[in-house]
Structure 1
Amino acid sequence: MKFAIDDGSTNVKISWIENDKVHCVTSPNSFRKDWKSAALINGKKIFNYQIGSTKYTFDATSDRALSTTHVAYQYDDLNLLSVHHALLQTGVSPCPVSILVTLPITEYYNADDCQKNEANIARKKENLLREISLNKGELFEIVDVEVLPESLPAVLTTLVDSGINAFTKSLVIDVGGTTLDMGVIVGEFDDVSSVYGNATIGVSMVTDAARKALAAADSDASYLVANELIKHRHDREFACEVINDLSKVDWVLECIENKIQELGNAIAYEAKTFMRNPNRVYLVGGGAMLIEEAVHAVYPSLGEKIVLLEQPQEALSREICCYHAA
């Protein structure tokens, strides 16, 4: 089988075609070292992995969850773990598979000449072909790895169906957990005129602020729980379940909102510097909804030509699946 995988630092988005239908699953990254005991968890699947001599487990709520919000994640144990864990969430029986995975633009292309960084691509492939085992379980066997650049393929269908002319310049802004990727596409994908990436701007800015605020409110949390609070920040009931010190609920939520605004302003500045006057803007990635307002503010004349893709987090894996994994 063939799977298209956008293996981001916060979530792995995986798509595949079965019975002529595209299926998509989002698998969050939340791993810690050592194994979890299944003794007290009847009927619940425990995912205990081993890579070399190191043991890991999937743990959604542990505040000891290992950080994946750094570029080195693309080539380390946590990336190998996240891809195999995502494959197990598909419901497909483990079998030999070919996978298409992604690298941030800053890692996929050389900064000086915009050519493929073959060394990074080879590192990514080698990492995902390494041995890994699942205690009391069976894993997929990855037999082939193809590496693609992030962000731009996510808008393929949208552009082809949009009826734009050959001179339209579309700016694609992909906001991930760790990186910001941007590219300018001419026409209906007739040409990619320029690409840009910043490995220091991503949703992790907000996640880290949320975790610090939670810790200050006696509520140490994993990256996964912090991200869930960001998603449900307008749900008071959810916030009160996550935050122990109820006197600090408003303060924690305010910290999150301030950091979201800071993230939006930073990305809007980067976008305007990279592409002053695009004809259209497309927002993709897990953080797309957080920065939509800031992008509208920096490109006020575009109005409805600023498009937040439907299900922006899964857009890249879905498009890669449709055009490469079929």
Structure 2
Amino acid sequence: MPQAKMKFAIDDGSTNVKISWIENGLVRSITSPNSFRKEWKSAALLSDKKVFNYQVGSTKYTYDATSDKALSTTHVAFQYDDLNLLSVHHALLQTGIQPCPVSILVTLPITEYYNADDCQKNEENIARKKANLMREISLNKGELFQIVDVQVLPESLPAVLTTLMDSGVNPYTKSLVIDCGGTTLDMGVIVGEFDDVSAVYGNADIGVSMVTDATRKALAAADSDASYLVANELIKRRQDRDFVGDVINDLSKVDWVLGKIDEKIAELGSAVAYEAKTFARNPNRVYLVGGGASLIEPAIRDAYPSLGDKIVLVPEPQEALSREICCYHAADPQTADAV
């Protein structure tokens, strides 16, 4: 088997794949959205536009950012299926690095990584994830990275390593980490500067997909069928009236669509806040990470009013996990299995 030339830290979430690597001593990161449909695209009209047509087994897929036929990835089964394999390989190609043999560190939601009954590693799920990403895949008229080694880490908690160690906490400080992703909500309580993890919790039924699905339905009602990627972009840029006007065809329903989005964001925030208060009633600090962190921030501040500035939205929360995994694991292949 070829030796890996590089190691990549990959937070392969259902909505976006976040990937980080070390280049010339610096950590670099990109975010690659997931938007794939079956069958291939024809060649691009413009010479500078690349078409990504893949094949897994006998099934053909293509990357299509705007198609309303894009396949759903907002389910836990995504972690072990063709779409996960596609999303990781597609993200690697977006790094701009020449394809080569690579070692990758990927993630699983807490609910999948740990057994619910004893909080020990779910070795079966970890093995399934590794096997899925070692499968054969091809790119029509193109070259792919060769994945020669896969290591699996739990989501959420490593995302706050640097932030926590730079915060001056004492050995008795209890920090609640809330990771609101596309499909799952992961939480954990960290003691001190990562001296101990006292509890973990996950809910596979709460995530930004609640907002995304409602947004797609609202867009369809406004004669504006859209892909998951476009719906998520609208959620992020809902204050940009020019962008909103470009996405929504029936302009008479713009305010109605935006109202539906705001309602669902409030519902997501309330659901996360309820779960957080049930899981950790009175933490000393709260750290928000993941793609939905900014959406739930107001609800979490309302849920823990006495904490004030001890509630922290981690910088660039969507890429935080892949960056931290890269900093603490990607440079040292001996440490990855210690998590």
Asked if Structure 1 and Structure 2 have the same fold, meaning a TM-score greater than 0.5 normalized by the shorter chain, the answer is yes
**2:216 aligned with 1:211:** yes
How far off is 1:185 after superposition?
0.1
- Name the CA distance, whole Å, in 1 between partners of 2:96 and 2:267: 39
Query: What are the residue-to-residue correspondences of 1:1-326 with 2, within 5 Å?
Result: 1-326=6-331
- Name the CA distance, whole Å, in 2 between partners of 1:262 and 1:233: 17
- Name the CA distance, whole Å, in 1 between partners of 2:45 and 2:145: 27
Q: Write the letter of the residue equivalent to 2:254.
A: V
Q: Write the letter of the residue equivalent to 1:57.
A: T
Q: Write the letter of the residue equivalent to 2:320.
A: A
Q: Write the letter of the residue equivalent to 1:158.
A: T
2:16–2:32 contact (8 Å) kept in structure 1? yes
Q: Write the letter of the residue equivalent to 1:14.
A: I
Q: Deviations over 1:262-282 (max 9, x none)?
A: 000000000000000000000
How far off is 1:40 after superposition?
2.7
- Name the CA distance, whole Å, in 2 between partners of 1:219 and 1:195: 40
How far off is 1:38 after superposition?
0.8
Q: Deviations over 1:22-57 (max 9, x none)?
A: 000000000000000015343200000000000000
- Name the CA distance, whole Å, in 2 between partners of 1:116 and 1:43: 45
Q: Write the letter of the residue equivalent to 1:207.
A: T
Q: Write the letter of the residue equivalent to 2:290.
A: G
2:44–2:51 contact (8 Å) kept in structure 1? no
- Name the CA distance, whole Å, in 2 between partners of 1:129 and 1:317: 20
Give secondary structure in 1 for the equivalent of 2:287.
strand
Query: Structure 2 length normalisation: TM-score?
Result: 0.96
How far off is 1:65 after superposition?
0.1
- Name the CA distance, whole Å, in 1 between partners of 2:56 and 2:179: 31
Q: Number of paired residues?
A: 326
2:44–2:50 contact (8 Å) kept in structure 1? no
- 4+ residue stretches of structure 1 with deviation over 3 A? none
Q: Deviations over 1:48-80 (max 9, x none)?
A: 000000000000000000000000000000000
Consecutive unaligned residues of structure 2, counting only runs of 5 or more, are: 1-5, 332-339
2:182–2:291 contact (8 Å) kept in structure 1? yes
Q: Write the letter of the residue equivalent to 2:145.
A: F
Q: Deviations over 1:241-275 (max 9, x none)?
A: 00000000000000000000000000000000000
- Name the CA distance, whole Å, in 2 between partners of 1:54 and 1:245: 36
Q: Write the letter of the residue equivalent to 1:129.
A: M
Give secondary structure in 1 for the equivalent of 2:32.
strand
Give secondary structure in 2 for the equivalent of 1:251.
helix
Match of 2:336 in 1: none
Instruction: Give the root-mean-square deviation of aligned CA atoms.
Output: 0.5
Q: Deviations over 1:131-155 (max 9, x none)?
A: 0000000000000000000000000
Give secondary structure in 2 for the equivalent of 1:22.
strand
Q: Relative to structure 2, which stretch is displaced further, 24-33 or 156-165?
A: 156-165
